[in-house]
Amino acid sequence: MAERRMFAKTIIDSDAFLEMPQSTQLLYFHLSMRADDDGFINNPKSIMRNVGCKEDDIRILAGKKFIIPFESGVVVIKHWRIHNYIQKDRYHETKYKSEKASLDLDENGAYTKCIQGVSNMDTQVRLELGKDRIGEDNKETPDKPAKSPKHKHGEYAHVLLTSDEYLKLCDEWGESETLRMIKTLDEGIETKGYKYKNHNLAIRNWKRNEGKNGKTYSKPLRDLSNGYTLPEGMDEMPGEGR
């Protein structure tokens, strides 16, 4: 396997890449440096832990299409062929031939999933990397489609969001702001023991009311009928009942 790796400036200078959190960019470089000669990595979780990154970072890379995950836990750098050209006398084919066989190259030379190889993972970004299945309710039956799995977010892993929910928040607010809101919610659950039925709605309501009042509350703003409490001294949600 070659010891040197290259990076195409057209990829790492793009807005899509530079708008990602620095920790996500860092993980991309480390994954790329450790990939085999076809761009495959079989231990992304170990690399993630060794460089101090979190599962949020690898989910962003998958959601933004900088890596392609497989059910086996292996990932591949999508733009590997754009980044690197390895001479035939130095090239060693990947060991992950079944994963490679499920890929095509697009007109730019980037990996893309073959149509016949597309699975639910492509639409739900269902990574085997630290994927958390929530109970038996996620099982698919003929009369009930499978639910999207929820992943743990935040330092204390209290915030539960599906990949679709997380990526939609990132699209609306940007990754940095989404991670800030997740951090706030995660710390509130850890220190205060707050309980939520739906973390996606809790974050959105907190964000909305934060914007109305121009400040961050120490408690989540939710309707009392849903089992949530208002900040101390408040009788109603800001802007409601007026």
| Per-residue pLDDT tens digits of the chain, which is 242 residues long | 667 899 999 999 999 999 999 999 999 999 999 999 999 999 999 999 999 999 889 999 999 999 999 999 999 999 999 999 888 888 999 999 999 999 999 888 899 987 544 444 444 444 444 444 334 444 555 555 556 778 888 888 899 988 788 888 888 888 788 888 998 888 888 898 888 889 999 999 888 888 776 655 444 444 333 444 444 443 444 433 33
38 is a domain residue: yes
Co-location of 15 and 112 in the same domain: yes
Answer yes or no: is 139 within a domain: no
39: left (phi over 0), alpha (psi -120 to 50) or beta: left
For the chain, count helices (H), then strands (E): 11, 7
Do residues 13 and 119 share a domain?
A: yes
- Other C-beta atoms within 10 Å of 48: how many? 21
Same domain, yes or no: 120 and 168: no
Q: For residues 67 and 162, state if they share a domain.
A: no
The CB density around residue 172, as the number of other CB atoms within 10 Å, is 11
Claim to verify: residue 44 and residue 85 sit in the same structural domain = yes
Q: Is residue 158 part of a domain?
A: yes
Question: Is position 63 within any domain?
Answer: yes
- How many domains does the chain fold into? 2
Shared domain check, 170 and 109: no
Q: How many Å apart are CA 169 and CA 181, to the nearest integer?
A: 10
| CA dihedral (18, 22, 27, 29) positive or negative | positive
Does residue 221 lie in a domain region? yes
70 domain-assigned = yes
Angle between helices 163-173 and 175-192 (to 10 degrees): 120
Give the range of the structural domain holding residue 49, as residue numbers without chain letter. Answer: 9-124
Residues 112 and 148 in one domain: no
Q: Write the CA distances from 161 to 158, 169, 227, integer angstroms.
A: 10, 10, 19
Tokens of 66: 């900088």
Put the strands of the sheet holding 75-77 in their side by side order: 40-41, 75-77, 67-69
Question: Could you tell me if 120 and 49 lie in one domain?
Answer: yes
CA separation for the pair 170, 128 (Å, rounded): 21
Q: What kind and span of H or E run contains 56?
A: helix 55-63
Asked if 157 and 182 touch (Cβ cutoff 8 Å), the reply is: no
Within-domain flag for 235? no
Q: Is 78 left (phi over 0), alpha (psi -120 to 50) or beta?
A: alpha
116 and 156, same domain (yes or no): no
What pTM did the predictor assign? 0.53
Do 64 and 153 share a structural domain? no
150 within a domain of the structure (yes/no): yes
User: Are 163 and 105 within one domain?
Assistant: no
Query: Do 209 and 118 fall within a single domain?
Result: no
The pLDDT value given to residue 99: 93
Candidates 36, 35, 55; CA nearest to 45 is 55
